[in-house]
Structure 1
Amino acid sequence: MNTKCCVVVALSVAVLAGCSGGTGASPTASPSSDPQTLSALRKAVTATEKAGSARFEGTATTGTTTSTRKGALDWSHDPATGTLVVTGSGAAQTRCLRKAVYLRVNDAVAASLGGKHWLKYDRSALASAIEQLNATEPAKPVRELVASGDVREVGPQTVHGVRTTHYFGTTSAERIDLWIDKAGLLIKAVREDDRSAGTTTTTSYYTGYGAKVTVKAPPSSETVDYTALLNAQSPSPSGTP
């Protein structure tokens, strides 16, 4: 395997490691939700799932390390499609289409790929990146709190000019705070979980529910197929020219 292939393999390992998440070991809180609160969150799950798409942005902080995330997700079809741009710690840019995932590489890696800045993967080969994008679906934290049975209503609050109701609760690993508007749509979510590296706080804001999400593949002139690259760089069997 030559230098080019080694660089790409190292990059892929880093991406998969960076996308994979962990959960803490916090004890599960005793369920203490009243029926009306749970009913409100169930309605929010239905409303959010029905919206089909949204834009999102936010931050993830562990200790003194922070990354920002921004993108859009369309979950109205299976598989979901969307875009995710991460800056700061673990910087990455991902485009998930129905059959492929495109990962943008930095200039140093692109130099080893003939100046091309995008790697193309089969969706099944980059499952962790897809999981990271799917984790941005706004109904996900709402479903988790409903399933936990531990959720409380804090009261009305305004988030970015939108009147919402603030709820919070705990799962087996996290505290989750949700701000839901009168239409039942999630406007803000804050998740806190304890890991070996410290507490990670993820804050997400959601807008543009129901808007069309267009995800385009990068130009072929800017793209390298990862599988084809690996096959081309694999050593020939002994005795084969």
Structure 2
Amino acid sequence: MAMAAWKRAGVCLTAAAVVVGLAGCQDGDGGGKKSADTSGSAAQTQNEAAEVLQAAFEKTSEAKSSKVRMTMTMPAGLEGGGTMEMSGVQGWDPAVLDVTMKGSALTAGAPDGPQQTRMIMVDGVMYMDMGAEQAAQMDGKRWMKMDFKAVADASGDPEVQKQMAGGLENMNQDPAQQLALLLGSPNLKHVGPEKVDGVQTEHYKGTLTIEEMVDANKALEGMFSEAEREQLVANMKKTGLKGYDTEVWVDEDDYPAKMVVGMTTAQGTMKMTAHYSDYGAKAEVQAPPAGETFDFMELMKELESLGAGSAA
């Protein structure tokens, strides 16, 4: 495999990691009360807002899937920085994803690479479509396969394995579970009624410190000792991460229509804006044919055998 193709693969994988990681932090959206309940009235109290979002938690849990249209903006100082647009379908319980991605974060460092790519995630495995040029170089194999558990196991490092397991748990959390993070905010606020994509919604917002986010994240329960939890928080703070600002717009059916999450880092603010629709539509996501895939771990072994001096 030519090194130039590997560079393009690396860019795609970096972008995908950003997408999956942010989706894990931000999938969740809240449901709400009917617009008539609040129109022309005083803003709801924090307890009333929590009740609304709790109702949304329950309603969204039952849906198990939705269409998603997401835009992420990442500071240029971060690897994969730039803008990423993603649209497609996602499902939870079980966690699946089938989306098309495009944007400057995808093409950064590889301007000759594909301008957009498709990503599929199913059974804890991610597949990236590397395009026709890749297929020509790899006997028709255009899909790069990345098995997160296999990557963790191959590291031989218990800490890496634990972190990867936590990451998979986060990806397996459905939007309702992510909404539970927002419910952990001590300062929930009802902003007021707004229209989103032509639909009447109610707008809510809240913030979480790093400590509050870790405490509210059920995926981390039982995985870290108190000392390890403190180290995790310290490591996150070292990156310059200040906390999470979350906004959600809930439609009249108690489903999140839109969500915005901002994360302030030393390099700048990472922002994700997601629009959701068609809740409950079946998410039929299938892995690409085995004959059209090549394994990320095998690729890494190939690169090691080529040595650092291989030319692009």
User: So what's the TM-score if we normalise by structure 2?
Assistant: 0.60
Unaligned residue ranges in structure 1 (runs of 5+) = 24-32, 236-241
- Asked if structure 1 preserves the Cα contact closer than 8 Å seen for 2:124 and 2:168, the reply is no
Structure 1 residue 105, shift from structure 2 partner: 1.4
Residue equivalent to 1:120: 145
**Matched AA of 1:203:** T
Bigger share in strand = 1
Structure 1 residue 54, shift from structure 2 partner: 0.8
Residue equivalent to 2:57: 45
> Partner of 2:105: helix, strand, or coil?
coil
**Are positions 1:176 and 2:246 aligned together?**
yes
**Are positions 1:204 and 2:274 aligned together?**
yes
Structure 1 residue 47, shift from structure 2 partner: 0.9
Structure 1 residue 86, shift from structure 2 partner: 1.8
Q: How does 1:1-241 map to 2 (within 5 A)?
A: 8=6, 11-12=9-10, 15-16=13-14, 19-20=17-18, 34-62=46-74, 65-77=82-94, 80-91=95-106, 92-98=117-123, 100-125=125-150, 134=171, 137-172=174-209, 173-227=243-297
**Matched AA of 2:100:** V
1:19-38 Cα distance to aligned partner (Å, 9 max, x none): 15599xxxxxxxxx621111
Structure 1 residue 198, shift from structure 2 partner: 1.4
CA RMSD of aligned residues (A): 3.5
Unaligned residue ranges in structure 2 (runs of 5+) = 26-44, 77-81, 107-116, 152-163, 210-242, 306-312
Pick closer, same or farther for the CA change 1:63–1:102 going to 2, 3 Å.
closer
- Asked if structure 1 preserves the Cα contact closer than 8 Å seen for 2:127 and 2:146, the reply is yes
Distance 1:90 1:62 in 2: 8
1:110-168 Cα distance to aligned partner (Å, 9 max, x none): 4432342102233424669x769939953355222211222100111111122111001
Moved more, 66-75 or 223-232: 223-232
Distance 2:102 2:169 in 1: 14
Residue equivalent to 2:35: none
Distance 1:136 1:199 in 2: 24
Pick closer, same or farther for the CA change 1:164–1:43 going to 2, 3 Å.
same
Residue equivalent to 2:37: none
Identity %: 27
> Partner of 1:148: helix, strand, or coil?
coil
Bigger share in helix = 2
Distance 2:73 2:98 in 1: 21
**Matched AA of 1:134:** M
Distance 2:7 2:84 in 1: 24
> Partner of 1:171: helix, strand, or coil?
strand
Pick closer, same or farther for the CA change 1:120–1:71 going to 2, 3 Å.
same
**Matched AA of 2:99:** L
Pick closer, same or farther for the CA change 1:211–1:157 going to 2, 3 Å.
same
